[in-house]
């Protein structure tokens, strides 16, 4: 498997996720001790998708995060640049399948050049994918471009606990706990890359500034699980 590095070359990152597609949801559960499911439920409540709305779920992977928006009655687009992830998602959730979800479609796309018209979506969201993009600011500007005026942004991403002791424990888990998982994993490079990218990711306030610099307004955030992750909200001022 290609070893993605922190320069986040798109081909390397895509190849890595292609190789983890079948076990991606399991990988997330193991990395977070099952907390990812709780965080995703909070994302669903925060996005508050409504019937008739159009939602973009970027870096959607296999579409697990997209399903609740479609089930709420929103026209939902699960977008990812890993074709391997999308193939698994279509097989699990695609229309016409036994477990298919109405209102959910899968689209291949690059976060830096989204294949959608300006103002296409009422809400745009990305969960645990923004740190894998080569240019964070450009991706945030692209998300703003495809959001309608007044459209909502929700970013859920790993973060840094503000408490010193918790931060130390979190870093210890990333530096030593995940490498132990990597030893028994069939995809050890995935664990190493995800640990490294988490440690290198900006804290809550720094990410809020990046979102504001991309033109979003009303930027705020809420810590999840003492700041191990965080949800950032914003609105497209038009």
**Which range is least confidently modeled, 189-193, 196-200, 227-231?**
189-193
12 is in an annotated binding site: no
Q: What is the DSSP string of 139-208?
A: HHHHHHHHEEEEEEEEEEEE---SSHHHHHHHHHIIIIIHHHHHHTSS-HHHHHHHHHHHHHS--HHHHH
Kindly report, residue by residue over 64-104, the tens digit of the pLDDT.
899 999 999 999 999 999 898 899 889 888 766 555 688 99
For residue 190, say whether it is annotated as part of any ligand binding site.
no
Q: Are 134 and 114 in contact (CB under 8 A)?
A: no
Residue 168 has pLDDT above 60, yes or no: yes
111 is in an annotated binding site: yes
Written as six digits, the tokens of 81 are: 């640049």
**Residue 200, annotated as binding a ligand:** no
- Give domain 10-161+201-235's CATH superfamily: Vaccinia Virus protein VP39 (3.40.50.150)
What count of Cα atoms within 13 Å lies in the side-chain half-sphere of residue 184? Answer: 6
Q: What is the pLDDT of residue 44?
A: 96
Q: Where do the domains of the chain lie?
A: 10-161+201-235
Can you read off the two tokens belonging to residue 215? 């033109």
For residue 35, the model assigns a pLDDT of: 74
Residue 141: pLDDT above 80?
Answer: yes
Share above pLDDT 70 across residues of the chain, in percent, rounded to a whole number: 73
Tell me the per-residue pLDDT of 93-135, one tens digit each, with 9 for 90 and over. 876 655 568 899 999 999 999 999 999 999 999 999 999 898 9
pTM of the model: 0.83
Residue 110 annotated as part of some ligand binding site: yes
């Amino acid at each position: 498997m290609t070893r993605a590095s922190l320069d986040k070359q798109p081909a390397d990152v895509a190849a890595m996720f292609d190789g983890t597609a079948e076990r991606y949801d399991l990988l997330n559960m193991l990395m977070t001790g099952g907390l990812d499911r709780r965080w995703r439920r909070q994302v669903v409540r925060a996005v508050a998708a409504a019937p008739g709305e159009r939602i973009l779920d970027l870096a959607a992977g296999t579409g697990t995060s997209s399903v609740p928006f479609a089930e709420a009655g929103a026209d939902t687009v699960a977008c990812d640049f890993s074709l391997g992830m999308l193939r698994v998602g279509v097989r699990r959730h695609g229309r016409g399948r036994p477990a298919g979800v109405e209102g959910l479609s899968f689209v291949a796309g690059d976060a830096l050049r989204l294949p959608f018209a300006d103002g296409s979506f009422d809400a745009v969201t990305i969960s645990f994918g923004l740190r894998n993009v080569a240019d964070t600011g450009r991706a945030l500007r692209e998300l703003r471009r495809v959001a309608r005026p007044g459209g909502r942004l929700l970013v859920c991403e790993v973060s840094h606990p503000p408490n010193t002791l918790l931060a130390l424990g979190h870093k210890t888990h990333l530096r030593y706990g995940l490498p132990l998982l990597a030893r028994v994993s069939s995809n050890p490079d995935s664990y190493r890359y995800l640990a490294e990218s988490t440690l290198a990711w900006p804290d809550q306030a720094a990410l809020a500034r990046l979102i504001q610099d991309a033109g979003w307004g009303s930027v705020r955030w809420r810590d999840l699980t003492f700041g191990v992750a965080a949800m950032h909200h914003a609105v497209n001022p038009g």
